[in-house]
Each structure stands twice: as C-alpha cells, then as structure tokens.
A and B are shown apart, each in its own frame.
Chain A
Amino acid sequence: MGSVAGMDVHPVTGAFYVADGGGGGTNQLYLLDVSTGRLDVIGELGVVGGLAGLAFLPEPSTVLLLTLGAAAIRRKPRS
C-alpha cells in the first residue's frame, strides 16, 4: 500500500473501511477483515494521490430517533 491511508469503522455494521493512496498506493477503497488482516477491494477511489483520511458520519442518535418516533405516533390521526 501507499504512504498515506485512512481508516474508519462503519458505526452500525462494524465493518472496517481502508482507503489507500500516496506514493506507490493502489488508490482503492478496501474492506478490512480485522481478524485475519485480509483486505478485499471495493473499488477505485478515482482520486489523484488517494486519501489520507476516512470518516463515517455517525449514526443518528437514539434520542433523535426516539423523538422522531414519538412525534410520528402523536401526529397519527385518531379515528
């Protein structure tokens, strides 16, 4: 892999994603199996120089979802 790389964990699935770049890099996005170290190619990043950082936007907070759910229930028209 190259001289720069980024990694992050999917907040819900727990899957590890790795982006590779820099000198000698493959310029690809991978899924990493942390139990074996195996990298499986997802696809080309298409970015010159690759990526040095990766970050998932965190999952919506439980509180927010409960609030939305409660609001949906309260808005349900009564027959």
Chain B
Amino acid sequence: MRRASLMPVLAGMVVLLTWSLPIAQGLPLYGSSFAGVDGAVLYEVNPLTGAAGSPRATCIEFLVGIEFGRGDVLYGLSNLVSPVHPNSLLIIDPATGASELVGATGLSAITEGDLAFDPTTETLYGLYDLPHTGERKLFTLDVASGRASVLPGTLVGDPSAGPSDWTVRSTRWTPGCSNC
C-alpha cells in the first residue's frame, strides 16, 4: 500500500528531471556591449555558436557589466563617464532592453568592472579598478538603493590587467583574463 502510494511521486520526480535538465542546459545567455549609438546594447548570445543577436538598446552609455540577481532581475553597472547616471546600479528588462535607475553607488571612479551574484548568500557584488594603480576594490550593492559598501582590503594585481570580467562561483571569486 505504502509502496503503491509512492509510485506517483517517483514517476513525478522522473518527469521533473526529464523536464528540468534540458531547460537548465539551454539557459539563455545575455551579453552587453560597453557603448553604442543608443547606449550599450543587450544581446542574446548562443552559447553553442557564439553568435549574438536580438539587439536591444539599453540607453545606458558605458555599461561595464551585467548580472542576474535575486528573482532573475538583471542588473547593470555604469561607469564614471556615463552621462545620465554615472557610477550607478540599474535594472535592465532582458525582454526589451529598457533600463531604470536603482541608484547611485556612491563610488566615483568606476572605469572598468563587473557584477556578480552569489546565490548562496543572495549578495550582489561589484568590482572596480582604481585607475593607474592596478588596485581593485570589491564591494557589495544594496539592490534597493544601489548604494555600494566597499569591502575591506584591496585586490592587488597586474596594473595592466583590467577587472572587466569577474564572476562568482559559489563563494569563490575567479579573476578574468582580459590580458592573458
């Protein structure tokens, strides 16, 4: 009796795995340009071929990085010379590219950088460099206000290597290789 009652549950789990695996493997990949005529452009990128398509203007000039955060919200980080909202956290609608300001980070010198989300702590991180010093600062972002809180310490590396591409894998930061 007990075994019979478990059968639908087990069958459901098989169905669930059958459905979820292809969905997970075919997750959409988005890419963003740094600048453009109507600001940075959001693209859908085919992870199998590399081809980027479906361009959508974000109207954010000088967008240094994008990342999905909690609730699949897509965030963008603008740099210091972005004319409308410099050094700011923004939300981008992946379907249309439309953007809206969350708030100024309070930082003043974002030139290159990136965003990364740690799903285990639901923390949105940012990274930016201090020009001409080779030092990088890591900060957390308040997704309600856009305000940045710089974490203690400084990441010191090759001054010629930009911090334009970082990511979080679990709780481990992995440096990019923009000049490898």
Spell out A's residues near B (CB within 8 Å): 1-14, 16-22, 28-29, 32, 34, 37, 39, 41-47, 49-60, 65-66, 68-70, 72-73, 76
Besides A43-B51, A55-B30, A73-B9, 9 other A-B contacts (C-beta < 8 A): A4-B34, A7-B176, A43-B49, A43-B50, A51-B33, A52-B32, A52-B65, A58-B72, A72-B12
* Smallest CB separation, B41 vs chain A (Å): 8
Q: Mark B59-79, 1 if CB is under 8 A from A, else 0.
A: 000011111100010101000
Chain B residues with a Cβ under 8 A of chain A:
8-9, 11-13, 15-16, 19-20, 23-25, 27-36, 40-41, 43, 45-53, 63-68, 72, 74, 76, 94, 112, 114-115, 119, 162, 164-169, 174, 176-180
A44 to B50, CA, bound (A): 5
Shortest B180–chain A CB gap in Å is 6
Q: Are B31 and A13 in contact (CB under 8 A)?
A: no
Q: Is A13 in contact with B25, judged by CB distance below 8 angstroms?
A: yes
Contact A60 B30 (CB under 8 A): no
Contact B63 A42 (CB under 8 A): no
B8 near A73 with CB under 8 A, answer yes
Bound CA span A71–B39, Å: 43
Distance in angstroms between the alpha carbons of A28 and B45 in the assembled complex: 11
**18 residue pairs A–B, Cβ–Cβ below 8 Å:** A1-B178, A2-B178, A3-B162, A7-B176, A12-B25, A18-B165, A21-B33, A21-B34, A49-B36, A51-B33, A52-B34, A52-B64, A55-B74, A60-B20, A65-B16, A69-B15, A69-B19, A73-B8
Query: Once the chains bind, are A57 and B178 in contact (CB under 8 Å)?
Result: no
Decide if A54 touches B164 in the complex (CB within 8 Å): no
Which residue in A2, A10, A50, A65 is a CB contact (below 8 Å) of B47?
A10
How far apart sit A50 and B11, CA to CA, in the bound complex (Å)? 46
Report if A60-B164 is in contact (Cβ < 8 Å); known contacts: A34-B174, A46-B51. Answer: no
Cα separation A54 to B43 with both chains bound (whole Å): 9
> Does the CB pair A29–B167 fall under 8 Å?
no
Contact assessment for B28 and A57 in the assembled complex, using a CB-CB cutoff below 8 Å? yes
Given the known interface contacts A32-B177, A37-B177, A51-B43, the answer about A57 and B72 at a Cβ–Cβ threshold of 8 Å is yes
A34, A41, A51 — most chain B CB neighbours (10 Å): A51
Cβ of A78 to closest chain B Cβ, rounded Å = 10
Q: When chains A and B are docked, how far (Å) is the Cα of A55 from the Cα of B116? A: 9
- Determine the chain A residues whose CB is within 8 A of the CB of B49 once the complex forms: 42-43
